[in-house]
């Protein structure tokens, strides 16, 4: 678990001498084994908060506890080697091969070469890159999506309990982003890391975040599950930031199959279980139906999704 206690980052304007709070009095606990999305408008202090956790930025006040230990009491390098870090511009080392890139932290930790080599192959497989094909490539020979996958593999290499990600899928086109988000959700399902993920993409936060922390001008606007933010916004800012179609955005991140219930679907319009719930709703509206039948991969009806089911995402 990562805990922020009254965290503050203040910059003093060198001209006017006036203080500016990039992050102000932020107290927050990122639950273990879950993804917390740090969401907020541009310049609200998301990156600053994230980089204070692995001490790439030193806070001006407050405390950070990583697994109960005070981050300030650790050597920054030692702390960072225990925390996976994925940055927005990917930041792969262009002069090293994919395998060498992934092996960065294990090498820094002095782990045995043979074991690291095994680990690299395993990780590349995990992020969906065929090891034999990609190991010896240079980052410049990869697509943006492949590079980002390597970035994720590199962050996971030393099996850190905590993963920090700064807009990891930001630089990708929508299609590649979707695919990588799916793959990432799958990986996290198995690994159960404590993940803090910065994003300014509301859909991404609602889709991937087990919890969402919404920041506004350096302060916490709301912290809770996606449901909390969408259905129970605590302030006008939260409601406005998520927008009037927040519910639809949330539905877009859920598969129809996940909401369906057992039932007799004969005679109803059919949708595939892998379709997202928002599209299923669209089908209901188009067909003027109160419910749709959800079909599995084999084409057989596996359940029924009714309008009321959509209300309890």
Partner 1 sequence: MNSRPLAGAVGEHLSPALSSAARFSPDLQLVLWLGAAPMLAACWLPWVLLRPNRLAAGEFLRLPPLDIGLGLLAALATALAGRFLPRAVPLLASFALSLGAWWLGSRSGAAVQGQAEFARASVSSGVWLWLLGAAMTVYGAGLVGRRLGGAQPYLAWLWLPAVVLMALIGHFASWSVVAEYRVQHDRFFQELGRHLYLILVALGLATLIGAPLAVWASRNARVSGVVLGVAGGVQTVPSLALLGLLIAPLSALANAVPALRAVGVSGIGVAPALTAMTLYALLPVLRNGVVALRGVLPGVLDAARGMGMTDNQRFWRVQLPLALPVWLSGIRQAAVMLVGVASVAQLIGAGGLGYFIFSGLQSGAADLILLGALPAALLAIVLDILLRGLETLLGRRLGRA
- List the x/- string, 122-141, binding to Mg ion by CB under 5 A: --------------------
Segment contacting partner 1 by CB under 8 A, of 89-97, 184-192, 206-214, 294-302: 89-97
Please tell me what DSSP assigns to residue 9. Answer: E
Residue 55 CB, nearest approach to partner 1 (Å): 10
91 φ/ψ sector (left φ>0, alpha ψ -120 to 50, else beta): left
How far, in Å, CA of 150 to CA of 101, rounded? 8
Q: By C-beta, is 47 or 54 nearer to ligand ATP?
A: 47
Segment contacting partner 1 by CB under 8 A, of 137-145, 179-187, 250-258, 300-308: 137-145
How far, in Å, CA of 110 to CA of 250, rounded? 44
Cβ burial of 42 (10 Å; 0-12, 13-18, 19+) is: exposed
- List the x/- string, 22-51, binding to Mg ion by CB under 5 A: -------------------------x----
Q: Which partner in Mg ion, ligand ATP, partner 1, none is near 285 (CB below 5 to 8 A by kind)?
A: none
3-state SS assignment for residue 280? helix
Tokens of 226: 């996606």
Q: Does position 79 bind partner 1 by CB under 8 A?
A: yes
Query: How many other β-carbons are positioned within 10 Å of the β-carbon of residue 116?
Result: 21
Segment contacting partner 1 by CB under 8 A, of 61-69, 86-94, 176-184, 207-215: 86-94
Q: Does position 90 bind partner 1 by CB under 8 A?
A: yes
Q: Which partner in partner 1, ligand ATP, Mg ion, none is near 150 (CB below 5 to 8 A by kind)?
A: none
Q: Does position 108 bind partner 1 by CB under 8 A?
A: yes
Q: Does position 134 bind partner 1 by CB under 8 A?
A: no
Q: Does position 105 bind partner 1 by CB under 8 A?
A: yes
Residue 100 CB, nearest approach to ligand ATP (Å): 29
Q: By C-beta, is 32 or 89 nearer to ligand ATP?
A: 89
Q: Does position 91 bind partner 1 by CB under 8 A?
A: yes
Q: Say if strands 35-39 and 194-199 run parallel, antiparallel, or are unpaired.
A: parallel
Q: Select from 313, 292, 288, 311 the least CA-distant residue to 303.
A: 292
Q: By C-beta, is 102 or 259 nearer to partner 1?
A: 102
Q: For residue 11, which phi and psi values (nearest 5 degrees)?
A: -115, 130
Tokens of 94: 């262009």
Q: Does position 52 bind partner 1 by CB under 8 A?
A: no
Tokens of 301: 């009806």
Please tell me what DSSP assigns to residue 236. Answer: H
Considering CB under 8 A, how many residues would be counted as binding partner 1?
26
Return all residues near 199 (Cβ < 8 A) that are at least 6 apart: 37, 38, 39, 46, 167, 169, 170, 205
Q: Does position 89 bind partner 1 by CB under 8 A?
A: yes
Q: By C-beta, is 30 or 85 nearer to partner 1?
A: 85
Please tell me what DSSP assigns to residue 240. Answer: H
Residue in the structure block whose two tokens are 């969401």: 39
Residue in the structure block whose two tokens are 């230990």: 69
Q: Which partner in Mg ion, ligand ATP, partner 1, none is near 22 (CB below 5 to 8 A by kind)?
A: ligand ATP
- Positions touching partner 1 (CB under 8 A) are 54, 56, 76-81, 85, 87-96, 104-105, 108, 138-140, 154
- Positions touching Mg ion (CB under 5 A) are 47
């Amino acid at each position: 678990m990562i805990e922020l206690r009254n965290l503050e980052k203040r910059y003093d304007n060198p001209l006017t001498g006036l203080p500016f709070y990039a992050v102000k009095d932020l107290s927050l606990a990122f639950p273990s084994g879950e993804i917390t999305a740090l969401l907020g408008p541009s310049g609200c202090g998301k990156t600053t908060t994230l980089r204070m956790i692995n001490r790439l930025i030193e806070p001006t006040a407050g405390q950070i506890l990583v697994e109960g230990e005070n981050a300030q009491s650790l050597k920054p390098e030692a702390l960072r080697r225990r925390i996976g870090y994925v940055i927005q511009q990917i930041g792969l080392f262009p002069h090293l091969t994919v395998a060498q890139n992934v092996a960065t932290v294990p090498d820094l930790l002095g782990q045995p070469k043979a074991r690291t080599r095994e680990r690299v192959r395993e990780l590349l497989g995990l992020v969906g890159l065929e090891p034999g094909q990609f190991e010896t490539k240079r980052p410049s020979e990869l697509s943006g999506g492949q590079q980002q996958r390597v970035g994720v593999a590199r962050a996971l290499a030393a099996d850190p309990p905590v993963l920090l990600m700064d807009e990891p899928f930001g630089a990708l086109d929508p299609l590649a982003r979707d695919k990588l988000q799916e793959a990432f959700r799958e990986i996290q399902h198995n690994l159960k890391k404590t993940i803090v993920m910065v994003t300014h993409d509301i859909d991404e936060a609602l889709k991937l975040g087990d919890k969402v922390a919404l920041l506004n001008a350096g302060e916490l606007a709301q912290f809770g599950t996606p449901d909390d933010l969408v259905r129970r916004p605590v302030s006008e800012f939260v409601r406005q930031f998520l927008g009037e179609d927040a519910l639809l955005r949330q539905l877009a991140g859920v598969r129809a199959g996940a909401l369906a219930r057992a039932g007799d679907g004969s005679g109803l319009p059919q949708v595939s279980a892998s379709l997202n719930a928002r599209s299923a709703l669209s089908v209901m509206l188009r067909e003027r139906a109160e419910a749709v039948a959800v079909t599995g991969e084999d084409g057989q009806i596996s359940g029924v999704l009714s309008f009321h089911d959509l209300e309890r995402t």
